[in-house]
Structure 1
Amino acid sequence: MDDKRNLIAAILLSAAILLGWNFVADRFFPTPAKPDVTTTVAGSDGAAPAVTPPTQGQPNALPVPAAAPAVPAAQTIRPVEAVLAEGNRIPIETPALSGSINLVGARIDDITLTKYRQTIDKDAPPVRLFAPGGTQAAYFASIGWSAQDIAVPGASTMWTANGTKLTPATPVTLSWTNRTGQTFRIEYRIDDHYLITAKQTIANMGPAAVSASSYALIDRLGKPTDPHEQDSMTIHVGPTGYLDGKSVFDTDYDDLEEAPNRTVRYSSAGWLGFTDKYWLAAIIPAKGERVTAAMSSPATNNYQTLFARDFRQIAPGKQVTTTSRIFAGAKEVSTLQSYENDQGITRLSNAIDWGWFEFFEVPIFKLLDWLFKQVGNFGLAIMMLTLIIRVLMFPIANRQFSSMAQMRLVQPKMKALQERYKDDKPKMQQELMKLYKDEKINPLAGCLPILLQIPIFYALYKVLMLTIEMRHQPFILWIKDLSAPDPLHILNLFGLLPFTPPSILSIGVLALILGVTMWLQFRLNPQATDPVQQQVFKIMPWLFMFIMAPFAAGLLLYWITNNILSIGQQQWMYRKFPALKAAPAK
């Protein structure tokens, strides 16, 4: 009867853990998307909005002293290719990206990242970051001016260019002159990676002084609808920046819509923009420049980040030049850090939401990235990382094994005490504690390696989920993307049956191997004295198999490798001290 009660208690406890894990995982460990559905960057992959908001591209949160430009009528959504085919564009070409500048409005509204593909298919198109206004995923950067009593260029202004292509070697200057003698110029330069520098000049050739201010903005239509690309407890997606002296991770799209006047203002800005899991679009003032900034939602489904400078008087015959920078690209760790060091962009690397354990996660990433560059296979790099961690933790693991071995040696005495005081639980616990003290055993010593594994596992989880360097990296055979879950599921006969099992039942080959290796590892451990614990430990490997199945394949590979190394270490210790293995049988 007691055995049945213990078994029922163990099953109920395991079921509670398994069902409760879904809630915890959704909040703290969102699972990665499957490798064949990562198809968009600059907008949602859901239903398209019917029209483009009429305010898109117009500054929303700037102190505009003069009347705002006329608001254009709402535009019908059109394909990106159709909008780009209309012409009036200056091509952009670098080793990392391609696209064009729209001479209408001087917008940078066409950027594709040529080094990255939308899916793991070799023929998949490159990732599109920016798209022109009037398209489903309109997303662009724009710079301009506000002024008193004079006309300034706007969203419909046709600019004149003095070059034919923007490359790292060939800058392009755009110019436009109003009827009162003020000339506006934008000199665009671009480096080999993702940073565009825009030098804005207003020259006053009119008869009177003018007052003007320059600004830069990023405008985005829509927000991600894929649950794997949305903001979560561990990964920030949405408006971000280094504002008022700190990195902003606590503002999302809904916050902008619910804010007073749909705007959140800041008195200083190092940079600001929008972050996706792997991509970033940001505007950056000149180093040390004082600007005010805002994040806003000018209209439903439309979001904007911008900064503005104070108004300045420009006397006749004088000119004023300001410099804005635009980042549009992948969140490569080394690239972001180089911009911090070389360009003085404060904490740009915080566009990657490392979280509280950045001090631990960044070294894990750098070691894993270095190993990957040495061996050329990301799966092998994970296995080597696991081996290095096991070597570093060998003294602690040895202590754990020593404690386990001592437990095995005194197990007959423990069983005798349990039999003697089975009707007096407090006395049994008291005698067990005395036994531990007499034999110099710490029953909690075996927990230390497990506790140390938790931050390592979390750091590896963040690295796999956040860093672009790990995206779409294959291992062997069917594992084409270690940052995504195992694509082969046992329940649909490895894809032969036309259905996708729910995440809680998506048991793949790696998850099964994980369960088996954990079961083998548990069999080598000393048996728990409590009957309920015995039942729980029997179920635990298969419980973890279900829990870990939806995680990235790289995490399962790490855990499997760790289990195999643990089994090997235990077997080696048993061969070295055979009496330990035989002791409980006496």
Structure 2
Amino acid sequence: MEKQRNLIWAVVLMGIILIGWDLGLRYFYPHAGEHPHAAASSTATSASGTAPASGDAAPAKPTREGGLQSPADIAIEAQDLKTALAAPTRVAIAAPGVSGSINLVGGLIDDLTLNRHRETSDAGSPPVRLFSPAGTPAQHYAQLGWTGDNGVQTPQGNTVWQADRTRLTPTTPVTLRWTNATGQTFAIRYAIDENYMISAQQSVTNAGTAPVSVKPFALINRTDRTASLDTWQVHSGPIGAFDGSVDFASHYKDVNAAGEVAPAGQTNWIGFTDIYWLSALVPDAGTKPSGSFRALGNGFFRADLIYPAATVAPGQTVSQSLRLFAGAKENRVLEAYEAQGISNFSLAIDWGWFRWFEKPIFWLLDSLFHAVKNFGIAIILLTLIVRGIMFPVAQRQFASMAAMRAIQPKMKAIQERYKDDKPRQQQEIMALYKEEGVNPLAGCLPMFLQIPVFFALYKVLVLTIEMRHQPFALWIHDLSSPDPTHLLNLFGLLPFTPTGMFGIGVLALLLGATMWLQFKLQPAAMDPSQQQVMAIMPWMMMFVMSTFASGLLIYWITSNLLTIAQQRYLYSRHPQLKAQATKDQVDIDRQVKRERKPAPNRPKKR
């Protein structure tokens, strides 16, 4: 009766975990960061400006990719882009990393697409759009400018700048100029590199008769309706490095509640991150601007760099420089910028506390990918390497298991002798372990060693853009996404799409089958109730893992297959363990039959 009660509790607990996991995914993923958004007006925001006017829009559910989710927003965005980008007041941007344009009205960098990354895994998919003009549903742009003291006229959001070139490329910088009525000329010189960094030099030349005081600023303005998921494990939202430490503590909801958040410390860089994309302002070393995040209302936010006021005497020029990163969070690129002096820039990828282990796993996986040109094969090779490293541990595990089986008769004798004295029983069993040189926990060691590898690979698949849209074979076109097949709707033949853990695909089914076979080859648990729980576990895990990235399931399936092969080999090296396991299974089956056999009816006493 006690064993049956334990089994029932175990099954109930596993059911709670299974249902709770699916509900957790639904909570943290489809609804995380959900906001009622509003459409933007066509008015750009200056450093001291207010939020654009709002309209009506339906709430959207963020995704890992980010971007607009509402079909209405997507249609409006396409039309607005067509109109805005057709204006003659634009300077083209053409670089290997990005393409786009600068809007001479306001001097905004508001049109950027990423040449190396596509919106979907389809071959004909357009490049990812990062920046969109003010007033479009996906509003996201950068602006450099000045505020003036004592009535100094400075460029505004509707100022029309003059450009010395019509095209910004890595070999042809572009300078924008505007002169006010009192003789002050404001200039911004833009240069761009091969990747995602735009360098900017702001200068003010005073040809007037009196000194003027101006305060330079730089900002990034964006809507959160294009934000990617912000979860407990991967940050999406306001981000920056202050006094050399990357701050992941600010979220859109926090900035929205506070109105303004100004992290403590010197600003090394500041901006907004999605899981795969980053827009950030990087002040030059030695300058001391103040950095902050502001909520503008209706789902609009701004990251500011505001510099101390500078006095420009007649006949003099005052300038200062900064950089704008607007692109994909490619680890190699971020590390290169970090080596150039941007503090902890590679930590814009939210590796978390275990980056000391995750980054080597990423490096190995990325190296294997560059060698074989297929990320699925690279994952399989990584699994082979991990299992190969742990093979000596597995050998010791099996030796320990053989020793445990050999002392089972002695353990049973101790348990029978001291069945009414549990403390003495445990003491004698521990003495037996010591005398025979047996470690009862040795069998758990390989599992514990795999946990950090599994977690590291999970984080790598979730975080790193290098894995995004990487195909494997057949129907698997994106290893960073769940298996697109669904057994419950017969691969799309039935008119519905299973959601959550019920979207069982081929990979999840293979995972359950290989785990079941792996458990079958392991020595059976001595407790029949434990054995029944272990029989259910593979199919429970099949449901839980069905929502995970395909690459992670490929890793686990490969690991299971290697474990099965390893078990067969080690059983051949330890035949006594196999024979003992077979005998134990026979004994367990007999015990189960005895427990299930109804007790004979006893005659009633008269």
- Structure 1 and Structure 2 fold alike (TM over 0.5): yes
Decide whether aligned partners of structure 1 residues 32 and 424 sit closer, same or farther in structure 2, where only a CA change above 3 A counts. farther
Q: Which position in structure 2 is the counterpart of 1:92?
A: 93
Q: Which position in structure 2 is the counterpart of 1:483?
A: 480
State the 1:3 CA deviation.
Answer: 5.8
Decide whether aligned partners of structure 1 residues 336 and 423 sit closer, same or farther in structure 2, where only a CA change above 3 A counts. same
Contact 1:208 1:316 in 2 (8 A): yes
State the 1:196 CA deviation.
Answer: 0.3
Q: Which position in structure 1 is the counterpart of 2:491?
A: 494
Q: Which position in structure 1 is the counterpart of 2:366?
A: 369
DSSP 3-state at the match of 1:22: helix
Decide whether aligned partners of structure 1 residues 71 and 224 sit closer, same or farther in structure 2, where only a CA change above 3 A counts. closer
Contact 2:244 2:343 in 1 (8 A): no
Structure 1 counterpart of 2:45, from 41, 45, 57: 57
Q: Return the letter of the residue paired with 2:127.
A: P
Decide whether aligned partners of structure 1 residues 531 and 415 sit closer, same or farther in structure 2, where only a CA change above 3 A counts. farther
Q: Deviations over 1:13-42 (max 9, x none)?
A: 3213322333565688x6999xxxxxxxxx
240-249 vs 416-425, which moves further: 416-425
Decide whether aligned partners of structure 1 residues 416 and 560 sit closer, same or farther in structure 2, where only a CA change above 3 A counts. farther
State the 1:308 CA deviation.
Answer: 1.5
Q: Report the Cα distance in structure 2 between the residues aligned to 1:274 and 1:215, rounded to whole angstroms.
A: 17
2:145 is aligned with 1:144: yes
Contact 1:32 1:484 in 2 (8 A): no
Q: Report the Cα distance in structure 1 between the residues aligned to 2:42 and 2:262, rounded to whole angstroms.
A: 20
State the 1:372 CA deviation.
Answer: 0.2
Contact 1:75 1:134 in 2 (8 A): no
State the 1:417 CA deviation.
Answer: 5.8
Unaligned runs of 5+ in 2: 57-75, 584-606
Contact 1:484 1:553 in 2 (8 A): yes
Decide whether aligned partners of structure 1 residues 569 and 175 sit closer, same or farther in structure 2, where only a CA change above 3 A counts. same
2:18 is aligned with 1:18: yes
Q: Which position in structure 2 is the counterpart of 1:215?
A: 217
Contact 2:106 2:155 in 1 (8 A): yes
State the 1:416 CA deviation.
Answer: 6.0
Q: Which position in structure 1 is the counterpart of 2:318?
A: 320
Q: Which position in structure 1 is the counterpart of 2:566?
A: 569
State the 1:224 CA deviation.
Answer: 4.1
Q: Report the Cα distance in structure 2 between the residues aligned to 1:379 and 1:182, rounded to whole angstroms.
A: 59
563-572 vs 233-242, which moves further: 563-572
80-89 vs 477-486, which moves further: 80-89
Determine which structure has greater relative contact order: mean sequence separation of CA pairs < 8 Å that are 6+ residues apart, divided by chain length: 1
TM-score, scaled to structure 1: 0.90
TM-score, scaled to structure 2: 0.87
Q: Return the letter of the residue paired with 2:447.
A: I
Contact 1:97 1:112 in 2 (8 A): yes
5 Å matches for 1:77-476? 79-148=80-149, 149-224=151-226, 229-259=228-258, 261-264=259-262, 266-342=264-340, 344-414=341-411, 429=426, 432-476=429-473
Q: Report the Cα distance in structure 2 between the residues aligned to 1:441 and 1:223, rounded to whole angstroms.
A: 59
Q: Return the letter of the residue paired with 1:232.
A: T
State the 1:349 CA deviation.
Answer: 0.8
Q: Report the Cα distance in structure 1 between the residues aligned to 2:558 and 2:54, rounded to whole angstroms.
A: 56
Q: Superposition RMSD on alpha carbons, in Å?
A: 2.6
350-359 vs 15-24, which moves further: 15-24
Q: Return the letter of the residue paired with 2:260.
A: R
2:553 is aligned with 1:539: no
518-527 vs 421-430, which moves further: 421-430
Contact 1:145 1:214 in 2 (8 A): yes
State the 1:313 CA deviation.
Answer: 1.1
352-361 vs 452-461, which moves further: 452-461
Contact 1:218 1:304 in 2 (8 A): yes
Q: Report the Cα distance in structure 2 between the residues aligned to 1:485 and 1:418, rounded to whole angstroms.
A: 48
Quote the sequence identity (%): 52
State the 1:579 CA deviation.
Answer: 2.2
Contact 1:267 1:291 in 2 (8 A): no
State the 1:425 CA deviation.
Answer: 6.1
Unaligned runs of 5+ in 1: 34-43, 61-67
Q: Report the Cα distance in structure 2 between the residues aligned to 1:421 and 1:480, rounded to whole angstroms.
A: 60
Q: Deviations over 1:108-145 (max 9, x none)?
A: 00000121111111111110000001100110011001
Structure 1 counterpart of 2:518, from 521, 526, 536: 521
DSSP 3-state at the match of 1:393: helix
Q: Return the letter of the residue paired with 1:9.
A: W
Decide whether aligned partners of structure 1 residues 349 and 32 sit closer, same or farther in structure 2, where only a CA change above 3 A counts. farther
Decide whether aligned partners of structure 1 residues 71 and 14 sit closer, same or farther in structure 2, where only a CA change above 3 A counts. closer
Decide whether aligned partners of structure 1 residues 294 and 315 sit closer, same or farther in structure 2, where only a CA change above 3 A counts. same
Decide whether aligned partners of structure 1 residues 429 and 530 sit closer, same or farther in structure 2, where only a CA change above 3 A counts. farther
Decide whether aligned partners of structure 1 residues 52 and 184 sit closer, same or farther in structure 2, where only a CA change above 3 A counts. same
Q: Return the letter of the residue paired with 2:269.
A: W
Q: Report the Cα distance in structure 1 between the residues aligned to 2:404 and 2:499, rounded to whole angstroms.
A: 41
Q: Report the Cα distance in structure 1 between the residues aligned to 2:52 and 2:526, rounded to whole angstroms.
A: 76
DSSP 3-state at the match of 1:258: helix
Contact 1:32 1:552 in 2 (8 A): no
Decide whether aligned partners of structure 1 residues 20 and 49 sit closer, same or farther in structure 2, where only a CA change above 3 A counts. closer
Q: Return the letter of the residue paired with 1:257.
A: N
DSSP 3-state at the match of 1:154: coil
Q: Deviations over 1:475-516 (max 9, x none)?
A: 111111110001111111122212221212121111111111
State the 1:232 CA deviation.
Answer: 0.9
Q: Return the letter of the residue paired with 2:187.
A: R
Decide whether aligned partners of structure 1 residues 496 and 288 sit closer, same or farther in structure 2, where only a CA change above 3 A counts. farther
Q: Report the Cα distance in structure 2 between the residues aligned to 1:487 and 1:411, rounded to whole angstroms.
A: 47
Q: Deviations over 1:224-261 (max 9, x none)?
A: 47xxx3211110000001024421101010111111x4
Q: Return the letter of the residue paired with 2:38.
A: P
State the 1:10 CA deviation.
Answer: 3.2
State the 1:573 CA deviation.
Answer: 1.1
Q: Report the Cα distance in structure 1 between the residues aligned to 2:35 and 2:86, rounded to whole angstroms.
A: 25
Q: Return the letter of the residue paired with 1:324.
A: L
Q: Which position in structure 1 is the counterpart of 2:61?
A: none
Decide whether aligned partners of structure 1 residues 451 and 443 sit closer, same or farther in structure 2, where only a CA change above 3 A counts. same
Decide whether aligned partners of structure 1 residues 585 and 113 sit closer, same or farther in structure 2, where only a CA change above 3 A counts. closer
Contact 1:196 1:327 in 2 (8 A): yes
State the 1:340 CA deviation.
Answer: 0.8
Contact 1:223 1:253 in 2 (8 A): no
Q: Which position in structure 2 is the counterpart of 1:38?
A: none
Q: Report the Cα distance in structure 2 between the residues aligned to 1:512 and 1:57, rounded to whole angstroms.
A: 52
Decide whether aligned partners of structure 1 residues 422 and 12 sit closer, same or farther in structure 2, where only a CA change above 3 A counts. farther
Q: Deviations over 1:446-496 (max 9, x none)?
A: 122212211111111110011010000011111111100011111111222
Matched residues, number: 561
Q: Which has the larger radius of gyration?
A: 2
Q: Report the Cα distance in structure 2 between the residues aligned to 1:313 and 1:141, rounded to whole angstroms.
A: 25
State the 1:154 CA deviation.
Answer: 1.1
Q: Return the letter of the residue paired with 2:257.
A: E
Q: Which position in structure 1 is the counterpart of 2:596?
A: none
Decide whether aligned partners of structure 1 residues 534 and 45 sit closer, same or farther in structure 2, where only a CA change above 3 A counts. closer
Contact 1:31 1:551 in 2 (8 A): no
Q: Report the Cα distance in structure 2 between the residues aligned to 1:556 and 1:294, rounded to whole angstroms.
A: 41
Q: Return the letter of the residue paired with 1:293.
A: G
Contact 1:209 1:315 in 2 (8 A): yes
Q: Return the letter of the residue paired with 1:532.
A: S
State the 1:74 CA deviation.
Answer: 7.1
DSSP 3-state at the match of 1:146: strand
DSSP 3-state at the match of 1:79: helix
